[in-house]
Structure 1
């Protein structure tokens, strides 16, 4: 077999092996997507209840009028509650950027980083006015190379993140806010819409005020549905033993739910992007195999025709 045909055959075999790998990775990502969507559905029930309670407490102006330091030690679940609602002049803005640790996820990471950079530019500040807190290796590596202040990084988030992981992140972030590392915090992540669509979000998390609670609500139809539900059922609360002690329990849970929900949402978007990227890679591999097979068959047919012509010509010469 001619060397050119051997090279084409080698490329076909190599591409077939690549297609097998990308197809297997697509199946794995699809399985992870199904798992996290099931987990997220259960979590959203809890998160919506916590958000509903905090929303109504904010509507009653308890966040502005309550002194949480007056009751107990001002902490709940190891999170300093007083720091969650402390407002001060904004000199530094913290950005909790959620990306993936690995590649092969299509444009997932690049879209988040680009949108975060656009968010920074839109606020008319310089890079020195921001502190980056990176959840995921891609974001951490990018901003380190760019020279931004990466004050915190967390790598190795599970494929289906646990609440315990997020509690440690919230405790660290809250301590940094309390120590004045930054004066406000935005959570930047990719919101999962469907298998093919995701949308960047930058949600203000700290300090917790009535405005930040309103900003954290979903957009569009989801907001209308939520408002409709609130109109149908307006909860009434009797505060016992006191508003201060209730906020000590509810506010840390709300902060944790915001970060945990963002990480779950981002991971869901990551798995969907990975599944789509691997599906596209597999389809491109099969298209390349078809093209190479056609090229191989044509070259082989040409070689056979040439051999037949040479045999026929040699036989005619002998006659």
Structure 2
């Protein structure tokens, strides 16, 4: 019985150590989440203003804009920019997204030969490589709070591959941070740019104002920046959702560890009580035998 009690005590101490680790990781992830939320709030203001500019310019009678980001062409290859995490310990963050992408491919009846994968994050890159998909680009090691300068190679590569017709349509898939307790799958076409989906602020200037240079020239410059802002915004949003998923995962792990500790301590106390009762019975029996 003593050996059994020692084993239970060892399990209690081990579980307590695990809980300390998960609690510390939860606090770290919470700090990262708060920091990236502050960064994201500022970026969303910029992204909305840029969207307003593109919407106003596109509302003008523009017929000879140079460049391909607006041009729809026959879709031979569909690009999927899939943003996952590099690490685990984030619950179903990666698996839920990858499952949604695979369902989308099936719904659109796309084979591996029809798809080009651009993977941001090691989990997505490894998954699609192992299953024989064409992973034309991968990027690992996005920092906890990425800035545009850090990921500019990604956003430039995305638009340049579209310009070079590596794919004819680009869909971006990632986990959107909805709240601290939930994320949502986002999957939308970002190339070619669909200006009909843009809603300009009615308080902004009208597209009928005279412009110098012309709306066409301005749009030629702004469109690549707009497309890049969509990619960077998605990476920022996905990273926010990742930190949220980590917080929730570590919180759940800490709660589960506490339940295990409570159960083990109850088991330990019962076993200890039984051992004491056995010892008392043996002593009482020995005394009775001596009388």
TM-score by length of 2: 0.95
Name the structure 1 match of 2:70. Answer: 85
Q: Residue by residue, what CA displacement relative to the aligned partner does 1:130-162 show, whole Å, maximum 9, x if unpaired?
A: 110000000000001111111100000011111
Superposition pairs of residues 120-131 of structure 1, within 5 angstroms: 120-131=105-116
Name the structure 1 match of 2:181. Answer: 196
Superposition pairs of residues 163-312 of structure 1, within 5 angstroms: 163-211=148-196, 214=197, 230-231=201-202, 233-236=203-206, 237-312=209-284
Asked whether the 8 Å contact 1:98–1:136 carries over to 2, the reply is yes
Asked whether the 8 Å contact 2:26–2:247 carries over to 1, the reply is yes
Q: C-alpha distance in 1, partners of 2:250/2:61?
A: 49
* Aligned equivalent of 1:315, options 276, 283, 287: 287
Q: Does 1:11 align with 2:11?
A: yes
Q: Residue by residue, what CA displacement relative to the aligned partner does 1:212-232 show, whole Å, maximum 9, x if unpaired?
A: xx1xx6xxxxxxxxx6x834x
Q: C-alpha distance in 2, partners of 1:173/1:126?
A: 21
Classify the secondary structure of the residue corresponding to 1:153.
strand
Q: Residue by residue, what CA displacement relative to the aligned partner does 1:159-198 show, whole Å, maximum 9, x if unpaired?
A: 1111012321121122222222111101111111101111
Question: Structure 2 stretches of 5 or more lacking a match?
Answer: none
Asked whether the 8 Å contact 2:170–2:190 carries over to 1, the reply is yes
Superposition pairs of residues 16-55 of structure 1, within 5 angstroms: 16-55=16-55
Q: C-alpha distance in 2, partners of 1:259/1:61?
A: 27
C-alpha change, 1:281 and 1:153, in structure 2 (3 Å) is same
Q: Quote how far apart the aligned CAs of 1:234 are.
A: 4.4
Asked whether the 8 Å contact 1:29–1:275 carries over to 2, the reply is yes
Q: Which moved further from structure 2: 83-92 or 267-276?
A: 83-92
User: How many equivalent residue pairs?
Assistant: 289
Name the structure 2 match of 1:103. Answer: 88
Classify the secondary structure of the residue corresponding to 1:238.
coil
Q: Quote how far apart the aligned CAs of 1:243 are.
A: 2.4
Q: Does 1:113 align with 2:111?
A: no
C-alpha change, 1:170 and 1:83, in structure 2 (3 Å) is farther
Q: Quote how far apart the aligned CAs of 1:61 are.
A: 4.5
TM-score by length of 1: 0.87
C-alpha change, 1:61 and 1:108, in structure 2 (3 Å) is farther
Q: C-alpha distance in 1, partners of 2:145/2:216?
A: 34
Classify the secondary structure of the residue corresponding to 1:230.
coil
Asked whether the 8 Å contact 2:177–2:183 carries over to 1, the reply is yes
Asked whether the 8 Å contact 2:91–2:245 carries over to 1, the reply is yes
Asked whether the 8 Å contact 1:97–1:187 carries over to 2, the reply is yes
C-alpha change, 1:61 and 1:100, in structure 2 (3 Å) is farther
Q: Residue by residue, what CA displacement relative to the aligned partner does 1:283-318 show, whole Å, maximum 9, x if unpaired?
A: 000010000000001001100110011001001100
Classify the secondary structure of the residue corresponding to 1:100.
coil
Question: Structure 1 stretches of 5 or more lacking a match?
Answer: 69-81, 218-226
Asked whether the 8 Å contact 1:86–1:207 carries over to 2, the reply is yes
Asked whether the 8 Å contact 1:185–1:204 carries over to 2, the reply is yes
Q: Residue by residue, what CA displacement relative to the aligned partner does 1:250-309 show, whole Å, maximum 9, x if unpaired?
A: 112201110011011101111001000000000000010000000001001100110011
